[in-house]
Amino acid sequence: MPRRHSRASRRRSRSRRPSLRRRRRRGATVAEIRLQKVLAQAGLGSRRRCDDMIAQGRVEVNGEVIDVMGARVDPATDVIRVNGKRIPAPSGHAYVLLNKPRGVVTSMADERGRPDLSTFVEGRDDRLFHVGRLDTDTSGLLVLTNDGDLAHKLAHPSFEITKTYVALVDGTVPDSLAAKLKAGIELDDGPAQVDRFQVKDRSRGRSLVELDIHMGRNRIVRRLLDAAGHPVRELTRTAFGPLHLGGLSVGAMRDLTRDELGGLFDSVDER
């Protein structure tokens, strides 16, 4: 079933983008093409199958359910969703997920000659750069792209993108630490807190913990856990917004799927 937007959300969408009905009265612009062609180009199936999805009311454009044939859209500016999931606009941009190894500097060219991200993009001609940073001694999920606008939004604190980390720490962590970390701990640059905290395992004087945090301050996870009395020995980022590391091997990279990319755009949309 398509997601039906509230009247308020529809008004917000229409205030930013002209409705298809108003645009049809004015006439299509050069950039506008048939909706079913956009869906087919996004890999959603044949033109006939895309026609069926439109007829079934499963397609929305700028918050407006479109269930008639012949609608034209501008894929560069219109927000298109199928079954509630956003379809990214076609572009020349690249979006890559890397499982950064420990010991690699989050830089495309390190002036001190340390291992950096250039090793992983060698031979590519799309000039990728990293979204945000991971400490040199932290491994895990890092997004690479050449889409400067999206990268800026994803890295900006105002969008509050949630990150998930798994940490091996010293000491036997009590379950009660979760409430303390959620309430917040005062650090030298101000209070900080996690959104979620869970102890996954305890063994031989160490604990494996998992946490969600949307703050992006320097070495925030390490400083929080150290202030709580449990210094970090190993740290891996396993999720960034809607993206998950999954079974991607350390040092490996892959392109984002259409659904993952749509989820990324959703995470910074409407803000």
Per residue in 129-164, pLDDT tens?
999 999 999 999 999 999 888 899 899 988 999 999
The letter for the amino acid at 166 is: V
Looking at residue 175, its pLDDT comes to: 95
135 is catalytic: yes
Phi/psi of residue 212, nearest 5 degrees = -110, 140
- Active-site annotation holder among 51, 67, 135, 212: 135
What's the mean per-residue pLDDT of the chain?
Answer: 87
Q: What is the DSSP letter of 19?
A: -
Share of the chain above pLDDT 70, in %: 87
Cβ contacts of 195-200, under 8 Å, gap ≥ 24: 195/162, 199/173, 199/174, 199/175, 200/166
Q: Please, what CATH class does the domain formed by 7-83 belong to?
A: alpha beta
Q: What does the pLDDT read at residue 31?
A: 60
Q: 3-state DSSP call for residue 176?
A: coil
Query: Candidates 1.20.58.1000, 3.30.70.580, 3.40.50.300, 3.30.360.10; correct CATH number of 95-158+243-268?
Result: 3.30.70.580
Using only the alpha carbons of the chain, give its radius of gyration: 22
14 or 113, which is more confident: 113
E strand map for the chain:
33-34, 59-61, 64-65, 72-73, 80-82, 85-87, 95-100, 129-130, 139-145, 163-170, 185-187, 190-192, 196-203, 206-213, 232-240, 243-244, 253-255
Q: Which of 35-39, 60-64, 75-79, 102-106 has the highest mean pLDDT?
A: 102-106
Percent pLDDT > 90 in the chain is: 61
22-65 pLDDT, tens digit per residue, is 555 455 554 688 898 888 777 777 778 889 999 999 999 999 99
Which CATH superfamily includes the segment(s) 162-240?
Alpha-L RNA-binding motif (3.30.70.1560)
pLDDT computed for residue 203 by the predictor: 96
Q: Rounded to whole angstroms, how far apart are CA atoms 115 and 3?
A: 46
pTM, entire model: 0.74
Residue 166 has pLDDT above 90, yes or no: yes
Do 95-158+243-268 and 162-240 have matching folds? Answer: yes
Q: How far apart are CA 131 and CA 153, in angstroms?
A: 9
Distance CA(188)–CA(19), nearest Å, equals 50
Per-domain boundaries in the chain:
7-83, 95-158+243-268, 162-240
* Residue 20 confidence class, pLDDT cut points 50, 70, 90: low
* Runs of H (alpha helix) within 159-254: 177-183, 220-227
For residue 187, which phi and psi values (nearest 5 degrees)? Answer: -105, 175
CA distance 211 to 213: 7
Residue owning tokens 């630490």: 177
pLDDT in tens, 178-190: 999 999 999 999 9
